[in-house]
A and B are shown apart, each in its own frame.
Chain A
C-alpha cells in the first residue's frame, strides 16, 4: 500500500467514520444531559469499565441523578420543585 493513501476508514484503528465524521459524538442538550453516541468506552477514573447498558447513553450534567454517571431525568423534577417553591 502506498504510504500516501489515506487510512482505511473501516480499519479498527481509525478514529473516523467513512464520511470523515468522528466515531464518537457528545451532544449537549439544553437544560438536559450529555448524550454520547458511537464507539466510546465508558470507564471509571481508574479505568474500570462501566456497563453502558445500551448503545446511546445520557450522562448526568446537573449532579442530581441517582443513577450517576447516567442521567435519570431528575433534572426536570428538580426544576419543577424549585419553581413550585419559589
Chain B
C-alpha cells in the first residue's frame, strides 16, 4: 500500500510537509509557533492534517518520505506539541467525568452511547440522504473504515486478562477471522467500488475536513500512548455500542436508493457482528479492565465521552452542511 502525502492546510502543515520530503534532519525548534490558535483543535485543519502525517509515519508510511522520520526526535517533539493541543481540546469537549465503579462501567457505556430513536446521522441517512450524500459519507469515513480494526489492535499488547480476551474476540471479527475478503476493511472497499468510489487508502483525504480526520486521529492519539490505553478501550466501546442500529439504517438507506446487495454487505455484516461486540466491549472489555485497573476508570470514560463529542461534532458538520444544501466535503476554500 502506497499512501501519498496530503496537501498542507496551514503554515505548520506546510512546513512539516516540506521538511519530511527531505532526508531526516532536525526540525526547527520554533516550528510550533506556526500553528495559529484560532480554531477548536478538533476542527483545526492545520493541526489535524499535521497529526495525520505524524501518525501515518507509524503505520502505512508515505510515498517519498524516508521511513527514518518515524522516530526522528525533533518530529516527535512537534507531534507532542500538536497532541497536547488536541488532548486539551478533547478534555474540554468531554467535560466532567462521572465517578463510577468498574462494576457500573458496562451499563453506563451502553446507556450513554445508546442509539437515538429519531436523531443523528444514521437516522437522516435512512430517511432522507441522497445517493450523492451517501457517497460523501463513504468518503468522509474512508480513512478510518479502510483500516478498520488497526487502530484498536494497538491496545492488544497493553491490556491483560479478561479485557484482552474480549478485545481479541472483537478484533478477530474485524479482520474476518483472517479469511481473505472478509475483513471489514475489505467489505468497505466493496461498498466504495459498488458506489463508484476509489477504494485506495487516502484517495479522499483532501475532501475530508479536519473534524472527519479527528475521528481517526483521536484513536491514534489514544493508541500510541500507553497512558491512554483505557481511553482506547473506551473509544472502541462507544464505536461498537449502537453500531448495529446505525448500520441497519445505512443498509436500509442503500435499499431505498436502489444500490446493489453487494454494496450493503459491509453494513449488514455489522448489524449482527456489533450486537455481539457492543456487549463484549462494554462488559467484558471495558468493565473487566476497570475492575482490574480501578485507577484507570476515568481514562476509559474520558476516551468514551470525548470520542462521542468528536463524533457529534462530525455529525453536526455533515448534517449542518447538508441542511444548507451544501456539500459536507472539504472544498478548496474551506
Q: Is B278 an interface residue (CB 8 A)?
A: yes
Contact check, B275 vs A84: say whether CB atoms are below 8 A apart.
no
For B269, the closest partner residue in chain A by CB is A53
Query: Contact flags (1/0) for A61-81 with B, using CB distance below 8 Å?
Result: 000011100111110110111
Please count the residue pairs between chain A and chain B whose beta carbons lie under 8 angstroms apart in the complex: 82
Contact check, A58 vs B276: say whether CB atoms are below 8 A apart.
yes
Query: Contact flags (1/0) for B247-272 with A, using CB distance below 8 Å?
Result: 01000000000000000000001011
Contact check, B276 vs A56: say whether CB atoms are below 8 A apart.
yes
Stretch binding the partner chain, chosen from A1-9, A10-18, A28-36, A40-48: A28-36
Give A49 to B277 CA distance when docked, in angstroms.
23
Contact check, A84 vs B276: say whether CB atoms are below 8 A apart.
no
Contact check, B114 vs A80: say whether CB atoms are below 8 A apart.
yes
- Contact (A73, B243) CB under 8 Å given A30-B107, A54-B276, A67-B272: yes
Give A72 to B269 CA distance when docked, in angstroms.
11
Give A77 to B246 CA distance when docked, in angstroms.
11
- Contact (A73, B245) CB under 8 Å given A54-B272, A80-B116, A81-B117: yes
Contact check, A73 vs B278: say whether CB atoms are below 8 A apart.
yes
Give A35 to B110 CA distance when docked, in angstroms.
16
Stretch binding the partner chain, chosen from B30-38, B71-79, B169-177, B305-313: B169-177
Q: How far is the CB of A25 from chain B (nearest CB, A)?
A: 12
Q: Is B115 an interface residue (CB 8 A)?
A: yes
Contact check, B275 vs A58: say whether CB atoms are below 8 A apart.
yes
Q: How far is the CB of B170 from chain A (nearest CB, A)?
A: 9
- Contact (A58, B272) CB under 8 Å given A29-B283, A35-B280: yes
Name the one of B116, B242, B274, B279 contacting A35, with C-beta atoms under 8 angstroms.
Answer: B279
Residues of B within 8 A of A81 (CB): 117
Residues of A within 8 A of B172 (CB): 55
Q: How far is the CB of B274 from chain A (nearest CB, A)?
A: 7
Contact check, A73 vs B242: say whether CB atoms are below 8 A apart.
yes
Name the one of B169, B272, B280 contacting A70, with C-beta atoms under 8 angstroms.
Answer: B272
What's the interface size class on B, roughly?
Answer: 20 to 34
Q: How far is the CB of A19 from chain B (nearest CB, A)?
A: 14
For B272, the closest partner residue in chain A by CB is A70
Q: Is B244 an interface residue (CB 8 A)?
A: yes
Name the one of A31, A57, A84 contacting B117, with C-beta atoms under 8 angstroms.
Answer: A84
Residues of A within 8 A of B116 (CB): 80
Name the one of A29, A70, A74, A80 contacting B279, with C-beta atoms under 8 angstroms.
Answer: A29
Contact check, B242 vs A67: say whether CB atoms are below 8 A apart.
no
Q: How far is the CB of B133 from chain A (nearest CB, A)?
A: 23
Name the one of B107, B269, B275 contacting A71, with C-beta atoms under 8 angstroms.
Answer: B275
Q: Is B273 an interface residue (CB 8 A)?
A: yes
Give A55 to B170 CA distance when docked, in angstroms.
10
For A83, the closest partner residue in chain B by CB is B117
Residues of A within 8 A of B274 (CB): 73
For A81, the closest partner residue in chain B by CB is B117
Give A18 to B110 CA distance when docked, in angstroms.
34
Give A72 to B280 CA distance when docked, in angstroms.
14
Q: Of residues 116 to 170 in B, which have CB atoms within 8 Å of A's CB atoms?
A: 116-117, 169
Give A74 to B272 CA distance when docked, in angstroms.
11
19 further interface pairs, Cβ-Cβ under 8 Å (given A29-B283, A71-B244): A30-B106, A31-B110, A33-B275, A53-B272, A54-B177, A54-B272, A55-B172, A58-B272, A58-B279, A70-B275, A71-B276, A73-B115, A73-B245, A73-B271, A76-B245, A77-B115, A80-B114, A80-B116, A84-B117
Which residues of B approach A to under 8 Å, CB–CB? Answer: 106-107, 110, 114-117, 169, 172-173, 177, 241-245, 248, 269, 271-276, 278-280, 283
Which residues of A approach B to under 8 Å, CB–CB? Answer: 29-33, 35, 53-58, 65-67, 70-74, 76-77, 79-81, 84
Show 7 residue pairs from A and B whose CB-CB distance is below 8 angstroms, ordered by the A residue. A32-B279, A54-B177, A54-B273, A56-B169, A57-B272, A57-B276, A76-B110
